[in-house]
Amino acid sequence: MRQQAARFKAVAASLAGRTKTYLTEHADIDVTEVHAVTEDVDHLKLRQASAVIGVGGSVGMLIAFSFSQELIGVLYERLTAGIGIPPDQEAVYRDATVTEIANVIVGNCTADFASHDERVSLSPPILLEDAKGISRKKNAMFGTIMMVTPHGPFDIHMVGPQDMFDDYLNYESENDNAAA
């Protein structure tokens, strides 16, 4: 358990640092507050849009970036400025903005995650819209970093260990694992 807590702390530090850098350099958005949520919860509350990525290797967890609607709007405007987006494609690009931000940040974190010559795998990001939350299963560990910007808050949730999930990021039951 102590090793998992240390892993969560290291992953959280990497995610917080790389997220602040990305938002500042690519979207000109300052992160004004960062809070580690350490209380023991049985349910992670998600915001309006969340991108979920599975990280393999020694990290072994799911990472969800959960954004407020206002922040998504500002990110979309800034990251697509100068791109001629047809009006009928705006929703597609808005969704892609959410998943691409998470994908780039977690991808940048792999340099911090990998130990020695270990490979760290990433699943493609999955977009969850208007999902209410993630409920804890018996072996799950939850960790959250809440970040505040002038354009609204967002959360980075960490859920582990990864062996609790199948290739489609669904919780696996003990019966599923026993059959494998």
- Band of pLDDT at residue 104, cut at 50, 70 and 90: very high
Q: Where in the chain are the domains? A: 2-165
d(C-alpha 146, C-alpha 65), whole Å: 10
Superfamily of domain 2-165 in CATH is CheC-like (3.40.1550.10)
What is the average pLDDT across 51-68? 88
- Where do we find the tokens 């791109």? 83
Q: How many CB atoms lie within 10 A of CB 39?
A: 6
pLDDT at 53 over 70: yes
pLDDT digits (tens, 9 = 90+) for 124-171: 999 988 777 776 666 677 788 999 999 999 999 888 764 444 454 444
Sign of the torsion formed by the C-alpha atoms of 164, 49, 37 and 148: positive
pLDDT at 178 over 50: no
> pTM of this prediction?
0.82
